[in-house]
Amino acid sequence: MDWLKYAGDDPVHKLLLMLIAIVLFVVLMAIILFVVDRPRNPPRWFVGFGFTGIALLLLLAGLVYPALSTIWTSFLRRNSGDFVGLDNYVRAFTEPQFLIVLGNTALWVLVAPLVATFLGLVYAYLVDRSRFEKIAKGLVFLPMAISMVGASIIWKFVYEFKPQGVEQTGVLNQFMVWLGGEPQQWLLSRPLNTFLIMVVFVWIQTGFAMTLLSASIKAIPTDITEAARLDGVSGFGMFWRITIPSIRPALIVVLTTIAMTTLKTFDIVRTMTAGQFDTSIVALEFYDQGFRQNDAGMAAALAVLLFVIVVPVVVYNVRQQRKVEEIR
Amino acid sequence: MRIQKFGSRRRGIALAAGIASTALVLGACADTDEGSGGDGGDAEAFEIDCAAYEEFGDLEGTTVTVYTTIVEPEAETQQASYEPFEECTGVTVEYEGSREMEAQLPVRVQAGNPPDIAILPQPGLLSTLVNEYDAVLPAPEQVEANVDEFWSEDWKEYGTVDGTFYAAPLGSNVKSFVWYSPSMFADAGYEIPETWDDLITLTETIAEGNEGATRPWCAGVESGDATGWPATDWIEDMVLRSAGPEVYDQWVSHDIPFDDPQIVEAFDMAGEILKNPDHVNGGLGGVDSIATASWTDAGYPILEGNCWMHRAANFYATQWPEGTEVGPEGDVYAFYLPAETTDEKPTLVAGEFIGAFTDRPEVEAFQTYLSSSDWANAKAAATPAGGWVSANNGMDPENLATDFDKLSAEILADEATVARFDGSDLMPSAVGTDSFWSGMTEWFASDRSTEQVTSDIEKSWP
Amino acid sequence: MTTTTPQMPTPQPVRPASSGLNERARKARKALSNPWASTLAIVIAIIWTVPTVGLLVTSFRPELDIRTSGWWTVFGDAFSGEGVFSLRNYETALFGSSTNMIDFFVNSFVVTLPAVFIPITIALLAAYGFAWIDFKGRDILFIAVFALQIVPIQITLVPLLSAYVDFNINGTFWTIWLSHSIFALPLAIFLLHNFMKDVPRSLVEAARVDGAGHVKIFFQVMLPLLTPAIAAFGIFQFLWVWNDLLVALVMGDLRTFPLTVRIAELAGSRGGDWHVLSAGAFISMVVPVIVFLALQRYFVRGMLAGAVKG
């Protein structure tokens, strides 16, 4: 048993363990599918559960249970069991520190996904079927391969400030100097700093949007574009009237996914400013309260607020999904 | 590769030559001033008295896990300092360092998966673990006896929560230092200031010659998600100097409000330097650049001649770029941040503490070792590049590697020294690691007044 | 992902798309023929590349140079023969610790492979279930799964780790694989479900008429069509797991720590050693970039491109 549990320091043992895990998993899957496929006329719930069962069980244990206990914790004071009702929420909506955080989060979730999706779309459209498509996509995808912390460090270098008269080390300020301007304290100038931090997020996520949207652009049936071309549609008109409507569902999926990521991402702000200079967002505040202040109640309340913020996104998606279904 | 040797002094049984070979594997190298072998000698191994650990029984083959914030490159000297204990007892110390340790330790504790021993970087974390998670075990009697023998009453108090002694101190930091360039001072004919007034006079003298981006002082408080802490040290040093240790204690324990006039006065004393655009921020920008300059780089303008002085702790010695010589005749050195008179020597200190979560014999034995003078000396010997010191009075300063570390040890041992522990580490975390930090960055970055900043921090006190 | 469902010429799912693609490619060099469009594309490409290049150059410079002059100055200096490059940062990153860098690579690999394969497989099945099996409560369940995307990983750490400790399996690779799989599921199901939905109903109906059950349809109709989608999501999941620090730190121990844990240490106890970190960042980027380049051809071809436009 121990051999299966712990691999110790032996790399070969580790790799073997990995193979065993994969094989075991495949066998498990095969058994499930075999059982599902066995009956002649199985009830639909049986087949449905066969396909979705493992996922649902894992999610129940791994995410639903912690989420429910978080909702409960949000009514408690710090780490004690004392029930304090809505106190944590009242704090979140009254203390100036948290109000800034909520405002910034709203800004983030409205702006960052739109910009990232838009840039990803435009870029995917522009390089589509061009000679340099592969390399062009590779360049924009590159930031995805860097961890969020790594990306934040890169951009901290970009925004770095040195006073006039000293050699600049930040590329942005060097440009300011070359253009005859004065170097700026980028991360101190509010509200610009929030947007400059968003740039890092957009820089990473555009590759994600581009990859998925490019795929759907390629899936637009040729007859549609051909017909439009015969009608004399070209350039911008083609993009606006043919491409965008054709990939609308994909656009919504990408926007939604990035919006969800936006709400959860905290390491960018943490690395760039640690949430100071009025740049904090709910996800970071949650992390701070939970892991630095050890205030489990407040952290839980902030996590619940994240759920709440996301409700409109969920509702919108469900409605879109319904619409698509009606067309089909 | 040089072979490690531990400066031999104290009692006891000689150790097997094993140490030398294991040290070789670890690649740590130590140079003591004991003369004889010079570099590369495989001479005396550092001897400790194994008898101290016999009462814990046969520990051969057991393992103790240590969780700490100390990562590369300091991790190597830390691990090397455990070797004499491992040799004596046959215990394997499993070392895990992570910069996320402070956030992750409570997670592990809550999940029922704590390490055996955690090196806590500040007493605030200790009291959180004790009060909120009821997790740390009281120190075993051998540890308490060691601390009573080798540490002052004050240091023992920092490891005590509500009257119970939990955590023995490990290393110590001395924070009241000003870094400067000896050659720049010599060329300009400046003396090391002895009193606060001397320091201000010197500052103004230098400021008259300001050219371009050059200023008397440089400072930076950016430090990732701990941004702001270097500024709290400034304020604490000022409170010690302007209001005195008694007021300092009252301030830290909240017997006087954070925005008490005496504290506001201390802020303004720091502001005389830090908020005056003629005095800061050499090579780094204006006053607001203090908020964004990384504390690790903030002293570098001294090397470029753009800055004359930089207040930072003893461990800043290890932050200088590779090749920088730290010494009285080197590229950089430090002097004691002067007080109002020369009779008093208020000094801001900080340190790490050892918290234990399990009480197996090997864990208690290791705790005992870490709280002993044996460990302090072994650690001193295992830290050839310096930048480390301890207030453990069983540590022989002669084992310390550099002149600068000896200076730190000298200050710690000085009769006139009135040491006070870093206040932000003792305040509740809502202040000490949150509003105090952010208040300081706002103090530099925006035009918020001292009164406003201090009263905001006062309001956040839980 | 089209709103219009095109007429299917044949219900032949797997069919090489290359001929059709080439033809289309020849027809349409549309976008980049416009100079404004080309300029825009180039500008975006440059903005997206310059910061990374900056870091790459930085990673080869000595510490003091990094703090005192901009990375772009090396190009001028290199011409005048004074550029200073060194491998010192890479040496420290690779050989600076008592643990061998290879061990971290192996761990990253061992952690990542199952953590990509397992959740994608589970998600594919679930996505198929939600998209094509009409069972009771399916819509509600799907919405719930979708909404679970927002659960921050941090709130799950203590409950999960407690459970692992109770079962005495903490600190093994198994818990890391399991955790990654759980965290990946909501997004994976959501995305793959959307791709599955776009498979023309006619294809599925045709297979059904031939007497195929769900399992057969899943393997013979869906999987081939979804290859590009799986490749795309596989890349993302690979990147997230490869770059993950949090799960690795909380669920793992000294023997399972991947590269990211080592890289995070490179900043030094007090966070000042960014120069080493820059080298570390590139060391850890090598594998993801290779994987991306290797798999790129699958999804450049386009989701469903083979079947829908055959």
Query: Quick check: bond before A191 cis, omega within 30?
Result: yes
Same domain, B289 and B356: no
Of C166, C190, C193, C161, nearest in space to C178 by CA: C161
Contacts of B103 in chain A (CB under 8 A): 287, 291-292
Q: How many CA atoms lie within 13 A of B144 on its CB side?
A: 10
Same domain, C132 and C204: yes
DSSP state of B3: P
Chain B stretch 50-109, residues whose beta carbon is closer than 8 A to a beta carbon of chain A:
102-104, 106-107
Contacts of A79 in chain B (CB under 8 A): 132-133
With 70 as the cut, is the pLDDT of residue A82 above it?
yes
- Residue C302's pLDDT band (boundaries 50, 70, 90)? low
Same domain, C57 and C141: no
Residue at C17 is within a domain: no
Residue at B342 is within a domain: no
Same domain, A37 and A139: no
pLDDT of residue B22: 37
Mean pLDDT of A110-118: 96
Residue at C5 is within a domain: no
Q: Which of A131-135, A207-211, B82-86 has the lowest mean pLDDT?
A: A131-135
Contacts of A138 in chain C (CB under 8 A): 292-293, 296
Name the residue facing B322 among C63, C98, C261 (closest C-beta): C63
pLDDT of residue C22: 46
Domain boundary among C58, C85, C112: C85
Percent of chain B with pLDDT over 70: 90
Whole-model pTM: value is: 0.88
With 50 as the cut, is the pLDDT of residue A27 above it?
yes
How far is residue B317's CA from residue B325's CA, in Å, rounded to a whole number?
A: 10
CA C141 to chain CA centroid, nearest Å: 26
Mean pLDDT of B428-445: 91
- Residue B196's pLDDT band (boundaries 50, 70, 90)? very high
**Dihedral of the CA atoms B80, B82, B83, B89 (nearest 10)?**
-170
Q: Does C155 touch chain B (CB under 8 A)?
A: no
Q: Which of A276-290, B141-155, B238-252, C76-90 has the lowest mean pLDDT?
A: C76-90
Same domain, B416 and B454: no
Among C1, C124, C149, C235, the strongest candidate for a mutation testing the A interface, having the largest count of A CBs within 10 A, is C1
- Residue B197's pLDDT band (boundaries 50, 70, 90)? very high
Q: Which of A58-72, B182-196, B213-227, C256-270 has the lowest mean pLDDT?
A: C256-270
With 50 as the cut, is the pLDDT of residue B12 above it?
no
Domain boundary among A73, A88, A103: A88
Query: For B118, phi and psi rounded to 5 degrees?
Result: -120, 140
Name the residue facing B113 among C170, C264, C266 (closest C-beta): C170
Same domain, A146 and A255: yes
pLDDT of residue C65: 83
Residue type, A14: K
Contacts of C135 in chain A (CB under 8 A): 44-45, 47-49
Partner-chain contact A78 B132, CB within 8 Å: yes
Q: Does B212 touch chain A (CB under 8 A)?
A: yes
Name the residue facing B72 among C162, C253, C266 (closest C-beta): C266
Same domain, A106 and A20: no
**How close, in Å, is residue B237 to chain A by CA atoms?**
24
pLDDT of residue A328: 57
Q: Does C97 touch chain B (CB under 8 A)?
A: yes
Dihedral of CA B223/B229/B235/B240: which sign?
negative
pLDDT of residue B353: 96
With 90 as the cut, is the pLDDT of residue C228 above it?
no
Residue at B330 is within a domain: no
Residue ranges of chain A whose CB lies within 8 Å of a chain B CB? 78-79, 161-166, 185, 187-188, 270-271, 273-277, 287-288, 291-295
The count of domains in chain A is 2
Residue at C75 is within a domain: yes
Partner-chain contact A292 B445, CB within 8 Å: no
Beta-carbon pairs below 8 A across chains A and B: 78
Contacts of C222 in chain A (CB under 8 A): none
Same domain, A178 and A252: yes
Same domain, A168 and A42: no
Domain boundary among A58, A88, A118: A88
pLDDT digits (tens, 9 = 90+) for A208-266: 999 889 888 887 888 888 888 888 887 788 888 888 998 888 899 899 999 989 998 88
Q: Which of A58-67, A249-258, A315-324, B19-28 has the lowest mean pLDDT?
A: B19-28
DSSP state of A64: I
pLDDT of residue C257: 92
With 60 as the cut, is the pLDDT of residue C310 above it?
no
Same domain, A104 and A216: yes
Among chain A residues, the shortest Cα distance to B223 is held by A274
With 50 as the cut, is the pLDDT of residue B14 above it?
no
Q: List the CATH number of the domain containing A184.
A: 1.10.3720.10
pLDDT digits (tens, 9 = 90+) for B35-50: 333 332 222 357 788 8
Same domain, B293 and B356: no
Same domain, B9 and B136: yes
Q: How many CA atoms lie within 13 A of A239 on its CB side?
A: 16
**Structure token pair of residue A285:** 């505040």
Chains with 3+ CB–CB pairs under 8 A to A are: B, C
With 60 as the cut, is the pLDDT of residue B6 above it?
no
CA A26 to chain CA centroid, nearest Å: 29
pLDDT of residue B37: 31
Radius of gyration, CA atoms only, chain B: 22
Identify the domain containing residue B201 by its residue range.
177-312+428-460
pLDDT of residue C281: 86
How far is residue B169's CA from residue B407's CA, in Å, rounded to a whole number?
A: 20
The count of domains in chain B is 2
pLDDT of residue C69: 84
Partner-chain contact C96 B107, CB within 8 Å: no
Work out the angle at residue A271's Cα, subtended by the Cα atoms of residues B224 and A78, and round it to the nearest 5 degrees.
75
Q: Which of B238-242, B372-376, C260-264 has the lowest mean pLDDT?
A: C260-264
pLDDT of residue C241: 94
Of A7-11, B30-34, B212-216, which has the strongest mean pLDDT? B212-216
Among chain C residues, the shortest Cα distance to A52 is held by C126
Q: Tell me which residue has tokens 């004790």.
A: B130
Are residues B402 and B416 in contact, defined by beta-carbon separation less than 8 angstroms? Answer: no
Q: Does C177 touch chain A (CB under 8 A)?
A: yes
Residue at B186 is within a domain: yes
Partner-chain contact B212 A188, CB within 8 Å: no
pLDDT digits (tens, 9 = 90+) for C43-54: 999 999 999 999
Query: Quick check: bond before B73 cis, omega within 30?
Result: yes
SS3 assignment for chain C: CCCCCCCCCCCCCCCCCHHHHHHHHHHCCHHHHCHHHHHHHHHHHHHHHHHHHHHHHHHCCCHHHHHHCCCCHHHHHHHCCCCCCCCHHHHHHHHCCCCCHHHHHHHHHHHHHHHHHHHHHHHHHHHHHHHHCCCCCHHHHHHHHHHHHHCCHHHHHHHHHHHHHHCCCCCCHHHHHHHHHHHHHHHHHHHHHHHHHCCCHHHHHHHHHCCCCHHHHHHHHHHHHHHHHHHHHHHHHHHHHHHCCHHHHHHCCCCCCCHHHHHHHCCCCCCCCHHHHHHHHHHHHHHHHHHHHHHHHHHHCCCCHHHHCC
Domain boundary among A88, A117, A143: A88
Identify the domain containing residue A273 by its residue range.
93-327
**Average pLDDT score over chain C:** 82
Name the residue facing B292 among A79, A161, A288 (closest C-beta): A161
Same domain, C224 and C280: yes
Partner-chain contact A79 B133, CB within 8 Å: yes
**Average pLDDT score over chain A:** 89
With 50 as the cut, is the pLDDT of residue C26 above it?
no
Burial of C46 (0-12, 13-18, 19+ CB in 10 A): exposed
Partner-chain contact C268 B79, CB within 8 Å: no
Residue at C12 is within a domain: no
Please name every residue paired with B434 in a beta bridge, in sequence order, or none if there are none: none
Contacts of A295 in chain B (CB under 8 A): 430
Percent of chain B with pLDDT over 90: 68
Residue at B434 is within a domain: yes
With 70 as the cut, is the pLDDT of residue B299 above it?
yes
Q: List the CATH number of the domain containing B240.
A: 3.40.190.10
pLDDT of residue B42: 26
Name the residue facing B224 among A162, A166, A274 (closest C-beta): A274
Among chain C residues, the shortest Cα distance to B301 is held by C68
Q: List the CATH number of the domain containing C119.
A: 1.10.3720.10
Same domain, A46 and A130: no
Residue at C280 is within a domain: yes
Same domain, A178 and A237: yes
How far is residue C58's CA from residue C276's CA, in Å, rounded to a whole number?
A: 10
**How close, in Å, is residue B48 to chain A by CA atoms?**
31
Partner-chain contact A161 B289, CB within 8 Å: yes
Name the residue facing B296 among C68, C170, C272 (closest C-beta): C272
Residue at C13 is within a domain: no
Same domain, A9 and A124: no
Same domain, C188 and C245: yes
Same domain, A121 and A202: yes
Partner-chain contact B75 C97, CB within 8 Å: yes
Chain A stretch 78-117, residues whose beta carbon is closer than 8 A to a beta carbon of chain C:
none
With 90 as the cut, is the pLDDT of residue C292 above it?
no
Same domain, C197 and C80: no
Same domain, A72 and A158: no
pLDDT digits (tens, 9 = 90+) for C110-161: 999 999 999 999 999 999 999 999 888 888 999 999 889 888 888 898 899 9
- Residue B189's pLDDT band (boundaries 50, 70, 90)? very high
Percent of chain C with pLDDT over 70: 84
pLDDT of residue C21: 47
Partner-chain contact B292 A185, CB within 8 Å: yes
With 90 as the cut, is the pLDDT of residue B336 above it?
yes
Same domain, B169 and B61: yes
Chain B stretch 252-281, residues whose beta carbon is closer than 8 A to a beta carbon of chain A:
281
Identify the domain containing residue C37 by its residue range.
25-85
Residue at C3 is within a domain: no
Residue at C8 is within a domain: no
Mean pLDDT of C289-293: 85
Partner-chain contact B213 A276, CB within 8 Å: no
Chains with 3+ CB–CB pairs under 8 A to C are: A, B
How far is residue B283's CA from residue B288's CA, in Å, rounded to a whole number?
A: 13
Chains with 3+ CB–CB pairs under 8 A to B are: A, C
Partner-chain contact C64 B321, CB within 8 Å: yes
Name the residue facing C48 among A18, A36, A139 (closest C-beta): A139
Mean pLDDT of B362-370: 95
How far is residue C100's CA from residue B25's CA, in Å, rounded to a whole number?
A: 13
Partner-chain contact A212 C31, CB within 8 Å: no
pLDDT of residue C50: 93
**Structure token pair of residue C156:** 């799950």
Among chain C residues, the shortest Cα distance to A132 is held by C32
Same domain, A234 and A121: yes
Contacts of C24 in chain A (CB under 8 A): 129, 222
The count of domains in chain C is 2
Contacts of B110 in chain C (CB under 8 A): 158, 162
Among C98, C155, C246, the strongest candidate for a mutation testing the B interface, having the largest count of B CBs within 10 A, is C98
What number of other Cβ atoms are within 10 A of residue A319's Cβ? 10
Same domain, C51 and C198: no
pLDDT digits (tens, 9 = 90+) for C234-250: 988 999 999 998 899 88
Partner-chain contact A188 B128, CB within 8 Å: no
